[in-house]
Amino acid sequence: MSTSIKYNTKITALSNQVARELSNELELVIQKYVREYGLGATAMGGKLGYKDVTLKFKIYVANEYGEDAGKEEQFKNLADRYGLTCQYGDTFTDKDATLKVTGISPKRRKYPVDLRNVSTGKTMKAPIDYVNLMINREKYPRAFIVS
């Protein structure tokens, strides 16, 4: 991470870039601190004013991977109801990207499944049919051979 904020420098004006860099640095500090207690933390955005910035952080009980344990429990409870054939944390490959199933959101009807690109960390939403198709393609590759 390249930062334009110099240590021991007084910041006289806030911009989007400065607020973003402050949020990233504070997130790392908070994560380091809460990890000692078995918790995790993530930045949740914020609001930039003229002379102030309000940052939001989410602190949660972490599982063994450092992710939100509540998401995993919610996924286990809702996967059967939604007809998902995969488990929390399953991975599959699509167009040279390895995607990991990281949750389910019942409020999103069209794209309820949360995915994360393993190499870039980018998150995305997906429909249930797409996830089932890709997971089954990984499990049963011969069934998807078109001649």
Taking the domains of the chain in order of start, what are their residue ranges?
A: 16-61, 69-144
Instruction: Give me the mean pLDDT over the 26-48 stretch.
Output: 88
Which single residue is written with the structure tokens 């910035």?
53
Cα–Cα–Cα angle for 135, 136, 138, rounded to 5 degrees:
65
Give the chain's mean pLDDT: 83
CATH of region 69-144, choose from 2.30.30, 1.10.1760, 3.40.50, 2.60.120: 2.30.30
| Percent of the chain whose pLDDT exceeds 90 | 19
From the list 16, 9, 1, the residue with the least C-alpha distance to 50 is 16
pLDDT at residue 140 in the model: 66
From the list 36, 38, 45, the residue with the least C-alpha distance to 16 is 45
| Residue 36 scores a pLDDT above 80 | yes
pLDDT at residue 7 in the model: 60
Distance (Å, whole) CA 9 – CA 19: 15
pLDDT per residue as tens digits for the range 20-33: 888 888 999 998 99
Mode of pairing for the β-strands spanning 91-94 and 113-117: unpaired
pLDDT at residue 1 in the model: 46
